Amino acid sequence: MLLAGESGTGKTAIARMIHERSARYDGPFVAINCASLPQDLIDAELFGHDRGAFTGAVEERLGRAKFANGGTLFLDEIGDMPLELQPKLLTFLQDRKFYRIGSNQTRESDVRIIAATHRDFLAMSEKTEFRRGLYFRLAVLRLDIPALRDRHEEVRALSREILLRICRQRNVEPIRWRWNRWLNILGQETFASWKTS
């Protein structure tokens, strides 16, 4: 499954919600941000490594693909994954099998893969920055998430939910008339600023 949308549209929250409402809800939800890791560490972080596989590998380490066994592996910002690692990920998506760095032993992990990106994969594949086969394997089910500025009707509901959480955390009862007044003001100011920008 591929979640596509701008940064800040809630792709991680949607991935977690999909996991929690699926048959794999009792399995782990394991996330990895492909943009936050140095390119040479993504392979080890995703698939693990054996002791002595590289300098500093003093012990065997399981990768996130193995930790997610029976659950969901969320690959955030997958558009930033190095081109060299993409064939290994494609093989894992197809067969659920992988090799750890420094090992010849095939390992398996039964996971659901949810990937997220803010980038245009088709344009990237034309520039050979992203493998087209990997894109089509990920995008079997694609969900395009619009930005909040395009979902005006949700601002009040989101604001209400945030305020309720704050009230619960602080053990405070919301005052109804102030509550509605605040939401109306928020809605008017928010929509006015969106229309002018």
How many domains does the structure of the chain reveal? Answer: 2
| pLDDT reported for residue 185 | 62
Structure tokens at 36: 């936050």
Same domain, 134 and 40: yes
In terms of pTM, does the model score above 0.85? no
Same domain, 89 and 154: no
Distance CA(172)–CA(105), nearest Å, equals 57
Same domain, 20 and 33: yes
Residue 97 is part of which domain span?
A: 2-145
Same domain, 160 and 184: yes
| pLDDT reported for residue 40 | 74
**pLDDT per residue of the chain (197 residues) written in tens, 0 to 9:** 999 999 888 899 999 999 999 999 999 999 999 988 887 788 888 998 887 777 777 788 888 999 999 999 999 999 999 989 999 999 999 999 988 888 888 899 999 999 999 999 888 888 888 999 999 999 999 999 998 788 777 777 777 788 788 888 888 777 665 666 666 666 555 444 444 44
Same domain, 135 and 158: no
**Is 13:127 a contact under the CB 8 Å cutoff?**
no
Same domain, 189 and 110: no
| pLDDT reported for residue 194 | 45
Q: 111, 130, 145 — which closes off a domain?
A: 145
Same domain, 28 and 124: yes
Distance CA(128)–CA(33), nearest Å, equals 22
Q: 103, 129, 145 — which closes off a domain?
A: 145
Same domain, 104 and 127: yes
Same domain, 123 and 138: yes
Same domain, 182 and 129: no
Same domain, 172 and 117: no
| pLDDT reported for residue 192 | 47
Distance CA(29)–CA(26), nearest Å, equals 9
Same domain, 38 and 120: yes
| pLDDT reported for residue 28 | 97
- CATH number of the domain encompassing residue 99: 3.40.50.300
Distance CA(67)–CA(47), nearest Å, equals 10
